[in-house]
Amino acid sequence: MKRKIILSLLLAGFGFAEVTNSIAQEVKENNQSQFGEFMDRRGTYSRTASGKPGVGYWQNAADYQIEATLDDQAHTITGKVTMTYTNNSPETLDFIWMQLEQNRFTEDSRGTLTTPVQGNRYNGDTDGGFDISNLEAKVGSKGAASNKHIITDTRMQVWFAEPIPAKGGKATVSMNFSFKVPEKGMDRMGRLEVEDGTIYALAQWYPKVAVFDQIEGWNVEPYLGAGEFYLEYGNFDYKITVPYDHIVVGSGELLNPKEVLSKELQDRYAKAKESDETVYLVSPEEIGNTELTRPKQEGTVTWHFAIQNSRDIAFASSKTFIWDAAKINLPSGKTILAQSVYPKESNGEEAWSRSTEYSKASIEYYSKTWFEFPYATATNVAAEIGGMEYPGLNFCHYKSKGRGLWGVTDHEFGHNWFPMIVGSNERRYAWMDEGFNTFINHYSTLAFNNGEYPSNLQQTRRSVNYFNSETREGIDNYPDVVNTSNLGMIAYNKPAMGLLMLREYILGHERFDNAFKSYIKTWAYKHPQPSDFFNHMENVGGENLSWFWHGWFYGNGNIDLGINGVFPYSGNYLLSISNKGEIPMPVLFEVTYDDDTKERFTLPVEIWQRGDVWNHIIKTEKKVKSVVLDPDKILPDVNLGNDSWPQNIYDN
C-alpha cells in the first residue's frame, strides 16, 4: 500500500520533498539503543579492552597420569588417576572441584531427570556411573593427606588438609575409579557391537578438575547433555591395558609401538608416516589375523600414549578395526600422522576408506589457513556416535559415507581449533566453538578436492522461516537451556552466518582474516570470554561492531533492508532505502544501467544511527534500469520482496 501512496504522490505532481517526507514519517527519533554498548567490555587487570590477556591474567593447570584397564567381557574400565594441580590464581584454595561425568549415566542424575519423556539426542544408559575409592589429596610433596570429598551428581569437591598456596602452589589428587561403559553414551561415547566384536569409544572416562577462573571462580555447572566441556590445560601420560587382540588409538602420540605392534605393523606404521597416500596398517582381510599384526597371542597388552598442552584425552579400543594412515604436512615443515580405524561394516571407497584422505585434507587446510595443528596424530574413529570431538581424535558415525562422512570428519577435526586450542567455555557459550567451527568448515569444504562437496552456509536465506518464527531463540542462551530443536541454529548456524557476514559483507577478507587469526593466536591454550572475542575483533579489524554483536549475537531481532523507490533527481537518481528490521547493516547495492553495465556502491552502517530511512544520490549520466540490495545474497534478510527496484506497484 505504501508504494501506491508514493506513486500517487508522484503522479499528482508533488515534488521530491513531499515524497521523501511521506517516507520519512516512519523515522524513529534515534537508534542509539542499537549502536550503544550492550555489555560491559571495559578492560580489567586480567583482560584488556583490546581483547587480550592482561598483565594480571592467570590460568590454573592440571597434569594427569592415568593407568586403566578395559574388561571386554564385563564392559568396564578400571583405573587410577593421579592429577598434579597448579594454582596460579592470586588466592589460596582450600578445595578443588572435579568433574565426574560418568555419573550422568545413573537413574537419578540431573541429566537423566531433565531428559524429556520422549527422549532426545542426549539419551544415555542409566546403569552406570563412577565408583571412586582410595582418594588421597595433599598439598606439596610432604603435605598431610586428606580423603575428604563430597560427590554431588557429576561433580566432586575435594578438600585438602591445608590450603593450596596462591601463585604457583601445587597439590596432587589421586584415586581409583571404575565404571561400566554405557552402550548409549549420549552420542558422545559408548560401545558398538559389530560382527567381529565390540568397538569401545571412550571419553569422559576419568575424573578431571573443573576450571577455576577470573570470571566465575569455580565453574561447576553439572553435565546434563547439551552443554559440553570447559577444561584446564596440562600434560597427559596415560596407559591403557586391553586384550592382546585389540588395537588402541588415543589422543596424542603412541610411545611404545614396538611393544604393541608386530614387526610387520611397525614397518607399515613407519611407511604411513612418510606417505601422502593412505597406507593400510591392518587391511580388511587381516581383521582377526593376530599372528601377523600383534606381538602377543594371549593375555593383555598395555598401550602407552602422551599429549602435551591439552585439555582432555579420549581413546578407542577394538579387535574389529581396519586401520589405515597417511602423512600430514604442516606449514612449519613438520609432519604428523592422520589415521582412521573402522570395522568392515564401514569399509568402501564411498565410505570410510576415504576417512584418512578427509582427515589429512582437513588438518592441512586449517593449519595453513588459521593456526598450525599442535598434536602428533589426527585420528578418526568409526563408532555409533553422530560426531564428537576430542584433542586429536574424533568419533564419527560408522555408517557415514560420501559427503556426510566428509562433513562430520571435517567438522570434528575443526573443533581442534575451537575449543581444543582456543579453550572457550562450551557449557555456557556453545556458539564460541560450534559456531566458529561451522564457519571455518564452510571454507575448508569449498577448498576440498576442488569443491567435490558443496557448502550451503552462504545460502543464508534458506533460514528465513526460522528467523521469522515466534519460537526462535537467541545465540546467547546456554545450550542446556535452549529448546533442543533450536540448538542447531543458535549454536551452529546463526553464529557461523554472523562470521560469514563479517568476512564477506562487513569487514572484508583481509581485515577479518587478520583479526580472526590474531584472536586464535592470542587465546591459544587460554580461556576467552565473549567480550574478549568482541573486543579483539574490533581492535584488530578496526571497526566498532557493537551494533552487530548486540543485534546478531545477543539479540533476537532480524535484518530487513528495503528499497522505498528510485527517483529522477537533478539529472541523477535518488535512491530511498529503509531499515525495517531490528539490526542495522551497511548497505551494499548494485545498479544496472540501460546498457546492462553494472556498478556497486556501499553505504556505511552509520546511515541508520538517527533514523530508519536514508536517501542517497546515484550520480550517473546513464539511465538506471534496476537496483538490488545485497546482490550476493549474503544477508539473511527476512523480507525478500523489498530488496530490488523496480517492484510490482500493485504489491502490498
Q: What is the CATH number of the domain that holds 415?
A: 3.30.2010.30
Tell me the C-alpha distance between 495 and 432, whole Å. 8
| Coil, strand or helix at 20 | helix
- Of 423, 439, 470, the domain-final residue: 423
Q: 164: domain CATH number? A: 2.60.40
Residues 242 and 278 in one domain: no
Contacts of 91 (CB under 8 A, 6+ apart): 166
Query: Which structural domain range is residue 160 located in?
Result: 59-252
**N-terminal to C-terminal alpha carbon distance within the chain:** 5
Tell me how many domains the chain contains. Answer: 3
Tell me the C-alpha distance between 94 and 618, whole Å. 69
Contacts of 492 (CB under 8 A, 6+ apart): 434, 435, 438
Residue 456 included in any domain? no
Task: Please report, as a single letter, which amino acid is at residue 585.
Answer: M
Residues 172 and 267 in one domain: no
Residue 227 included in any domain? yes
Q: Would you state the cell numbers that stand for residue 372, as one nine-digit string?
A: 598450525
Q: Would you state the cell numbers that stand for residue 300, as one nine-digit string?
A: 593383555
Task: Please report, as a single letter, which amino acid is at residue 381.
Answer: V
Residue 120's pLDDT is what? Answer: 84
Residue 503's pLDDT is what? Answer: 98
Residue 533 included in any domain? no
Residues 110 and 211 in one domain: yes
Residues 165 and 284 in one domain: no
Residues 73 and 166 in one domain: yes
Residues 202 and 268 in one domain: no
Residue 477 included in any domain? no
Tell me the C-alpha distance between 460 and 442, whole Å. 12
- From the number of C-beta atoms within 10 Å of its C-beta (0-12, 13-18, 19+), residue 567 rates as middle
Residue 232 included in any domain? yes
Residues 334 and 210 in one domain: no
- Tell me if the bond preceding 182 is cis, omega within 30° of 0: no
Residue 8's pLDDT is what? Answer: 38
Residues 291 and 184 in one domain: no
* Positions of the chain with pLDDT lower than 50, given as ranges: 1-15, 18, 22, 24-26, 649-652
pTM of the model: 0.94
Residue 1's pLDDT is what? Answer: 40
Residues 219 and 271 in one domain: no
Residue 472 included in any domain? no
Residue 407 included in any domain? yes
- Of 362, 391, 423, the domain-final residue: 423
Residues 352 and 224 in one domain: no
Residue 175 included in any domain? yes
Residues 160 and 81 in one domain: yes
Task: Please report, as a single letter, which amino acid is at residue 189.
Answer: M
Residues 225 and 263 in one domain: no
To the nearest 10°, report the CA torsion of 357, 360, 363, 365.
Answer: -80
- Of 423, 454, 471, the domain-final residue: 423
